[in-house]
Every structure is written in C-alpha cells, then in structure tokens.
Structure 1
Amino acid sequence: MKGLFAWLLVPSTLLLSLVLNSSVSAQVEDFDSIKLYTLKNQQGMTVRVTNYGAIITSLVVPDRDGNRSDVALGYDRLEKYINAVDKPYFGAVVGRYGNRIAGGQFTLDGQTYSLLKNNGENHLHGGAIGFDKVVWSVEAYESGSSGGSLTLSYLAQDGEEGYPGNLRVQVRYTLGDDNTLKVDYHATTDKATPINVTQHTYFNLKGEGQGTILDHELMLNADRYTPVDEGLIPTGELAPVAGTPFDFTTAKPIGRDIGQSNEQLKRGLGYDHNWVLNRSESAEGLTLAARVHEPESGRVLEIHTTEPGVQFYAGNFLDGRLVGKSGKPYVHRGGFCLETQHFPDSPNQPDFPSTILRPDQTFQSQTVFKFSAN
C-alpha cells in the first residue's frame, strides 16, 4: 500500500506529531486504526484522504506552468481535526444530514424525531458526532501511477444523533489520470430516514493559505436559489437569481457583489446559500453544477453532480484564527465550499425534492471534481 501512513490516536496529554504532508511519525507504543491514504496520477495530481471523517486532507494540482500547490484547506495534524474549536468541517464527508434542519426536528411517517440543536435553534451537519467525527472502515484501497481509489464505509446506528434506522453508508474516492476526483456515495437503511451526504472541502485555487478567494471567477449553473430566514433555513421559495447578487449564471469574481446591501447577504454574512441546479425533472445522471477559474494560477475547477442543488459558502466565518497546514492563517474568505446536495431542511419542506430513504431503496449519488489550467 504505497502512500499509506499510520496516524496516531493517543490521549490528549501526548503530542500527535504525524505531519500530513510528510512521513514523520511519533515515537509512541500505541497505534489506532486511523490512517492516511494517498492517491496520485501521472499528471502530478495528489489526493490524501484519512478514514477519520472520510476527510480530504490534501489536494495537490498543477497550475498553468505545471507548478503544483495544495488547493484544499486543512490541518497538518490529526489532533487539530479532532479538537478544532470552530468546527469548520475541513475536507470532511458530512451527514447523516448535511446542512440545516429547522428547529432540530422533523416528522416522518407520523413520528416526530428530535435532533441536537448545534447551530442556534437548528440542527447542522449531522449533530455533535456526525460522519465527519467518526472513524470509517476501509473496504478497499488501490493505488498506482494512474490514480487509484479508496472505499470507506460507516454504519450509523438506529437512534444515533436522533435519526431513525441503521444506515450503512459507503463513500468511494476515485482519482483518474485526467485530473478528475470522483466521489460516489451509496447507502441502505432498515428504517425510513432522511439522508443528505456531501463533501465539505474548502478550496483556494491559488493554494491554501494564499489570501482570499474573492478574485476567483465563479459560474453556477442555476437560475434559482433558495432564500433563507434569519436562521439560514430556506423559506420554501425558489427565487430567481436574475437581477440579484446571487446571479452567477455568467462567471464573475466572487467578491464583485458580496458586499452589496442585500438582506439575504446580510443573513448569510455573505454567500451561504443553496442554488437550484438547472436540470429537467426527468433528467438523470451528471449535470454541470459549477465552474471556478483562478486568474493568477490559471487553475480551473469544474463540478458535475447527480444532486439537485449546490451550497456555495464563501468562507464567511474564517477570520484568521485557524492556522493551516502551511503555517499560514486562514483569513476571512480564504476558502470556498461548493457542497453538492439536496436542499437544506428538506424533511420539513414537502415541496423540495425528497431526502427520505426507505428500506426497499438504495441511495446513490455522485459528484465529480475536475481540475485543469488555462
């Protein structure tokens, strides 16, 4: 298993000194099951993933001149992921329900389920111990010069974080030689339950720690978005983006309109909203969700997904307190997220696409991140 490094999970009194982008390890006696896996292709793209939280810890891609940089925000030590005070969810798979559920509850088949309110009065990203804070089992790992894949699984038990059903989830990362990273999700349950899993990597295409993302040029393939109330819960409206700061149908710098006097921008402290992707209701398979171009490096990120929405978050809560793996602080709006998903609060919004998975069904979803440079 080339590129596999053991991580150490030891009492907090001992220093975890395994650095994610090197092979240095601590001299201690006890090892746990947390490890770091490397996928690398012939184009020089490298992806590192840990089975703690299914987290992408590093994503190295070339620029227009062939210079490689890590474009994913994150930490250099496992303890920082475990003990992070601000819980930014760097690089993690979040669930059982990514994004917010209003009031920390939903009703399903006549029964009301109560969830932890960990975001004001609302439930966020699966609760206190969501999928981002558990150790996933490694089902398969293949690594070679042309990419490779890593398959992880987790069994969320009935009642875990308040959700019904034993939910068996699988995520597979596949790196192709065309600089694509495919993320495939698969899940089954023994009771009806909501599910909305997504990948929560923060990107800065200049390189992590290299200033803000406000000059990145973003296109979102969406004519509508879901406005939110003061708690960032969708109102239920699918509002047109035309004539608003939320219009990214033609590429524009992220920072162009983010400071406008707009009630929705005030509520999100910037962009932190769900966009409704342009696809016909009968369409299946992948559709273009977003394209991001960083002018200085020439790096381009295209995202295709089978999901109906994408949450664009502009790093509004980054404030310089968190120091990344390169030793540089993550400044305000120093990274962006594009979380492919079903819509927030869908269990309480009957007009939104359903997120309910039943025992006779199989949940399947795919998102593809494609990197290039021009």
Structure 2
Amino acid sequence: MAITEREYGRLADGRIVHEYRLDNGQGLTLTAINLGGIVTGLWVPDAQGASANVVLGFDNLDDYVQRNPHFGVIVGRYGNRIARGRFELEGKPYQLDLNDGPNTLHGGSRGFGTRCWEAQIEGDSLLFTLDSADGDQGFPGRLQARVRYSLAANERSWRIDYEATCDAATVVNLTHHDYFNLTGQGSVLRHRLTIPASRYTEVDAVRIPTDHASVAGTPFDFRAPKAIVTHIREAHPQIVMAKGYDHNWVLDAPVDGGLRLAACLEDPASGRRMEVHTTEPAIQFYSGNFLDGSLVGPSGQAYRQGDGLCLETQHSPDSPNHAVDDDWPSTVLRPGEVYRSTTVHRFY
C-alpha cells in the first residue's frame, strides 16, 4: 500500500487543498481531496487488465467549488432529503437550510461535501475529520465526524468507515455520493444492476417519501440482474416524476451491524463488476437524470443524462419525520453514543 500527497489547488481565501493518492498495488488506485472528502478518481482494471477511472469528476478545483453536483463527496450531516427542512427532536422543532425547493437535501447548501476537512495519513488509510458546530445548517448539537478511506491489500476493494459523536441530540445520516461508470465513459444505461430489496420507497412530486412499496411487477424490481435501460423510459408514475430512477430501496437482509450486499453493478462492455456491501438498512439508486451536458470531465467529454449513476448507502430519506420502527430505524444520535457506518466497494 502506498499513499502520497500533493497540493491540488488553492481556495479563494488562500487555503490549500491537498490531493491524496492511495494505491494498493493490486490495480486499484483512488485519489481524493480534503475539500468535501471528494473522490476525484478511482482507477480499476477491466477484464483485459486495462485501467480506467470509473467515477465522474473534474480536473480542477474551481469546478468542484463552483458547480459540483455532489461528484464524489462525503454527504452530511444528513444524506438525502428532509421534508420542508423541518423535524422535531425531543419536543423541540428545528428548521434547516432549504436547498432543494421546499426541502433540505444532503445537509443543506453548505453540507459536508462543501467543507474543507482535516486530512491525515494513518498507516494504510486516509482519515478525514470535521467539526460541525451547533446550529450548522440548522442542525442541533456540535457534531464531530471522522471518515476513513482504506484500500484492501489483498483484493480490489475500497472501504469507507464513518464515525460521529455529538454534545447534544441530533440526527445523522452520512453517505458518499460517487457517480459510477464502469466503462469509464459514455452511458451507464446498459450496465446491469442488482439490488436485493423487495421494497422501494415511493415519493411525491418533490421526492419526499410517502411509503415503502413492493417492487414486484414494477420497474423497481432489481432482485435479479437487469440492464438499467430496460424500464427507465416506461410511463410508470414514479419513473416519470423523477425523470428516471432517484429512489430508495429497503434492503431485505436484517440490520445486525454486519456488512451485507446492497447492490451489484456489472458492465458487459468492460467486464468490470462492483459489489456494494454496507451496514446501512437502505440504498439510494440515482441514474444521473439531471446531467445535461453543461459539465465537462477530465477527458473533455460533456456529462449527459445517464453518463453516471449513484448507489448511496443510507437510512431512508426523511426518517426524522417518521415514527421509529423496523421500516424506519432511528437516525438520532445522542451524547455518549457513537454513530458508526461502513460501506465497502469491491471490484472484480
């Protein structure tokens, strides 16, 4: 394992942003910057051994600062949407920053993906830390977050370990927002996706959950491998409303603190396959519906609809506004507790 560091660029206020390169010596290489913990590149060999970057991103700091649609970021304090940016905790109402129409998305307009994290190389891993003040984006309590990236020494896998503590009750739902393309360029709609989930979360017109529903007989049934293009143009109300897939799936496997399969993505063109394993109860599949050609990647190619997809491990969207039960596990963190979550991406 080798980890190197270099200056990536400077922010308008003069702060230096550093880029870190992790290489496991087995063909897997990851680059990340301390702005937002952004993964700027992830190189994986194909079936013939040729390496390609399988995540979307930019080749300069200004684009990440000015126009990043969450490419590669650590998402927090709360991943996904909270309805009207409001919730009640211990009898007290809270109003969050609204950055997605009437809702709060991915922690607000100054969510964790926009912040400069402290970065430290620790042995064979890269540790990011962030101190989020009480009232940050409207969230209660000071939150201290730690996110660790590590590459396995004996396989092509990237592990993310999240931890957080607080000094007052708050809500936490950390995740990662990589746009994957296992071909390395072009569309992902011919990729084959498997999600071991019998239910998905229906949403309203502003993508707030209404209920969990069966995937049986719908375009949302990915229990067997299926090309994404198969149903993405169907006139199903949920597909039409989201302009594709932008939904949460409730995983079938029980939540017991261990890792279990959340998704498998296969690219017939390159032979690459990625498995996502997580301790989280759910996963968001977003099919890159709002990439419109206005963003340009390092190769000079414009990113268009369906050129990348996200698989965000998480608790279900808007959980703070639902009664806690098996379908809606709590996202509340209290003083003395430690929030922990792990997601592993394995490449074959």
Q: TM-score, normalised by structure 1?
A: 0.90
* 2:261 aligned with 1:288: yes
Counterpart-to-counterpart distance in 1, 2:12 and 2:167: 36
CA distance in 2, matches of 1:44, 1:273: 32
5 Å-filtered alignment, 1:1-374, equals 3-11=4-12, 32-84=15-67, 87-142=68-123, 148-177=124-153, 178-207=155-184, 210-235=185-210, 237-280=211-254, 283-351=256-324, 352-372=328-348
Distance 1:309 1:184 in 2: 16
Amino acid at match of 1:227: E
Deviation (angstroms), 1:3: 2.6
> Percent identity between the aligned chains?
48
Q: Which has the higher strand share?
A: 2
Mapped partners of 2:137, 2:340: distance in 1: 22
State the distance in 1 between where 2:8 and 2:223 align: 43
Secondary structure at the counterpart of residue 171 of structure 1:
strand
Contact persistence 2:11–2:17 (CA under 8 A): no
Which letter does structure 1 place at the counterpart of 2:181?
N
8 Å CA contact retained: 2:3, 2:121: no
**What is the letter of the counterpart of residue 169 of structure 1?**
A
In 2: Cα distance, 1:102 partner to 1:199 partner: 21
Q: Distance in 2 between matches of 1:306 and 1:11?
A: 38
**3-state SS, counterpart of residue 116 of structure 1:** coil
> Structure 1 segments of 4 or more deviating over 2 A?
139-142
Given that 2:87 and 2:320 are in contact with CA atoms closer than 8 Å, whether structure 1 keeps it comes out as yes
Distance 1:290 1:10, change over 3 A: closer
3-state DSSP class of the match of 1:227?
strand
Identify unmatched segments of 5+ residues in structure 1: 13-29, 143-147
Q: Secondary structure at the match of 1:273?
A: strand
Give distance in 2, aligned partners of 1:308 and 1:166.
25
**Count of matched residue pairs:** 343
In the aligned structure 2, how far is the partner of 1:349 from the partner of 1:3?
Answer: 44
Tell me, what secondary structure is at the counterpart of 1:8? Answer: strand
1:271 deviates by: 0.3
AA matched with 1:170? R
Letter in 1 for 2:197: A
With normalisation by structure 2, the TM-score equals: 0.96
Give the match's secondary structure for 1:93: strand
Distance in 2, matches of 1:35 and 1:256, equals: 41
